[in-house]
Amino acid sequence: MPKTNQRTSGRPFKVNTLIKTLMISGLLLIVVFVAAKSFGADTFTVLGDAISSFFGSARDWDQPYGLNYEDVIDMKPYGSGLAVLTNTEVIYIDSSSNVKDRRSHNYKAPAMKIEGARLLLFDRQSEDYRIEKDSGIVFDSSAESTIITAEIGKRGRCAIAHRGDYATSVLSVYNSVNELIFKWSCEKEHIVDIALSDNGKRVAVAVLGAKDGEIYSKLFVFDIRYKDPIAVFEFDGVSLFSVEYKGGKRFAAAGDSLLCFVNGDKKEDVKTYSPYELCGYSPIKKGISALCLSKYGNTSDNEITVFDKKGRAIYDTTVKEKVRHFSASEHYVSVLLPDRAESFNKKGEKVANIITDSDGIKIVQNGSSLYILTREGILKHHVPSGKVYNDVEDSINSVESEDNA
């Protein structure tokens, strides 16, 4: 190309570059002032903090397109991300907070259970259910009658509790290709929850009944190769609401006043809450069980107790504020408080103190990731493993002890 063309094109190039630079700078300036206004920064002395807060919050949370917090029914860990169930769809969010897929449904009262890469979606007002993944629907199916609850196992087996013609409730277990392999009719009680072992051979069923005006619960444990249960445990005056597989032949059942661990046909341990009241329960399959109890019914004085899969207490910690929500993973337990979320490791040490808006609604702990549902969307935070010091004195004492050591 001739040199004259290079010289004549140089000045327009510089002018264009300058114009673009000024336009970008102006746009950034507008963004800065919008950010300052949004975060209440009225003077340049706090403008730097406002900018940091603006761009920091933009990185911290992601709002899936079309998500309305009022439509969110449930949130559960899925892989290294999250599955969000709304009134109209299931949204799959990956570990980078990106929407990987979203799949619509027309269920009137939807609920979901997750095991590995499989998600069991069912309707509590009809017979309909389906198994799906973030890559697509595996199959659609229907139970014999209206579904009460359901569970999915590691090998693709699923258990459906539904109403019966000649029984109060019925349990049906299907294999991975949706063939019926076990059926049990509960004549008097209502099935409230189900748990499947990893190999799919054992199933625990929590039921609720009433006799002479008194509530009672039972926990049935089945080996699906046999018709009759291998164990039945009864609890008078207790309303069981959850049962979880803990590995081997172990299951844990939680009620409004106790937590029970069973192994095979034997009751290993029972933890009673009285005189405390239950305000949160979060079990991990084959892992810990975390309880949040209000002392003497005082919702601003709570005690968190974490148990291993055998029912042995790992640690206790106290939270002197109202607990809005409660969630656990294999190594962390987090509580949602009125203005923040706190996370604890398996030693009972506080490892995160996350400031949130006052509209925190629900939290889900997935590994070291903490998801917080707010009115603005879903926030994601990383929970570190190191201890968080509550004040300067604790930090100084720690440094002095390390120096002495």
**Domain extents in the chain:** 3-57, 273-405
Q: Is the pLDDT of residue 31 over 80?
A: no
Given a contact cutoff of 8 angstroms between Cβ atoms, the answer to whether 85 and 75 are in contact is yes
- Element (DSSP H or E) covering residue 37: helix 3-38
Q: Quick one: which of 353, 354, 373, 348 has its CA closest to 363?
A: 373
- Quote the pLDDT of residue 358: 66
Handedness of CA 100, 122, 115, 76 (dihedral sign): positive
Q: How confident is the model at residue 376 (pLDDT cuts 50, 70, 90)?
A: confident
Average pLDDT over residues 318-323: 94
**Hey, which of 11-15, 104-108, 268-272, 386-390 has the most confident mean pLDDT?**
104-108
DSSP 27: H
- The residues facing 221 across adjacent strands are 204, 231
Percent of the chain with pLDDT over 90: 68
CA gap 379, 373 in Å, rounded? 6
CA 236 to chain centre: 30
Q: Is the pLDDT of residue 370 over 70?
A: yes
- Quote the pLDDT of residue 265: 93
Average pLDDT over residues 220-230: 95
Average pLDDT over residues 230-234: 97
Percent of the chain with pLDDT over 70: 79
- The residues facing 379 across adjacent strands are 61, 372
Q: What is the pTM of this model?
A: 0.79
In degrees, rounded to 5, the angle at the alpha carbon of residue 395 between the alpha carbons of residues 370 and 316 is 50
Range scoring the smallest mean pLDDT among 139-153, 269-283, 351-365, 379-393: 379-393
Q: Which residues of 267-293 are buried (b: 16+ CB within 10 A; e: fewer)?
A: ebeebebeebbbbbbbbbbbbbbbbbb
CA gap 251, 243 in Å, rounded? 7
Class at the top of the CATH hierarchy for domain 273-405 = mainly beta
Q: pLDDT tens digits, residue range 146-191?
A: 999 999 999 889 999 999 988 999 999 999 999 999 999 999 999 9
- Quote the pLDDT of residue 36: 40
- Quote the pLDDT of residue 210: 94
CA gap 209, 216 in Å, rounded? 5
Given a contact cutoff of 8 angstroms between Cβ atoms, the answer to whether 100 and 69 are in contact is no
- Quote the pLDDT of residue 385: 76
What are the tokens at 113?
A: 């259970």
Average pLDDT over residues 203-232: 95
Q: Is the pLDDT of residue 205 over 90?
A: yes
- Quote the pLDDT of residue 39: 37
Handedness of CA 373, 374, 376, 379 (dihedral sign): negative
- Quote the pLDDT of residue 115: 95
- Higher pLDDT pick, 122 / 5: 122
| Tokens 């595996």, residue located | 138
- Quote the pLDDT of residue 15: 41
What are the tokens at 387?
A: 């201890």
Q: pLDDT tens digits, residue range 132-151?
A: 999 999 999 999 999 999 99
- Higher pLDDT pick, 57 / 91: 91
- The residues facing 282 across adjacent strands are 290
Report the amino acid identity of residue 126. Answer: S
- Quote the pLDDT of residue 241: 96
Q: pLDDT tens digits, residue range 269-304?
A: 999 998 899 999 999 999 999 999 999 888 899 999
- Higher pLDDT pick, 166 / 204: 204
State phi, psi for 144 to the nearest 5 degrees: -70, -25
Q: How confident is the model at residue 59 (pLDDT cuts 50, 70, 90)?
A: very low
CA gap 60, 320 in Å, rounded? 27
Q: Quick one: which of 219, 226, 227 has its CA closest to 245?
A: 219
- Quote the pLDDT of residue 114: 97
Q: Quick one: which of 217, 310, 223, 302 has its CA closest to 258?
A: 217
- Quote the pLDDT of residue 373: 93
- Quote the pLDDT of residue 5: 37
- Quote the pLDDT of residue 296: 86
Q: How long, in residues, is the chain?
A: 405
Q: CB neighbours of 159 closer than 8 A, spacing ≥ 6? A: 150, 151, 152, 153, 171, 172, 173, 174, 194, 196, 203
- Quote the pLDDT of residue 156: 87
Q: Is the pLDDT of residue 8 over 90?
A: no
